[in-house]
Amino acid sequence: MEKDLDYYLNLDWTLIEGEDLGFEGEPYHYIMIEEIPSFCFCAKTIEKARENYKKQLKLSLMVMLESGEHIKEPGEDDEDVDWESLCP
């Protein structure tokens, strides 16, 4: 199976949802993806975050695929990663 953008967009990612305060003390909601530590999407409400995080996920995955970066899939153990090829 070819692991293209559509393949990755349809995986069952491990979402981490939360709420925090911005610099001005206003609350915001965020969605992070456990398998992609650099991913975080923020919105004023959790509903908006859930509705729109996939747009940013798509852009993030496009960059990762284009750069040849390893994309850790849900359920993939860290032991499966070939660290020598990632960290020369």
Tens of pLDDT, residues 33-44: 999 999 999 999
Is 30 within 8 Å of 17 (Cβ atoms)?
yes
Specify the pairing of strand 36-43 against strand 27-33: antiparallel
Q: What pLDDT sits at residue 28? A: 96
pTM to 2 decimal places: 0.80
Tens of pLDDT, residues 48-84: 999 999 999 999 999 999 999 999 999 887 665 665 6
DSSP single-letter state for residue 38: E
Spans of all domains in the chain: 1-49
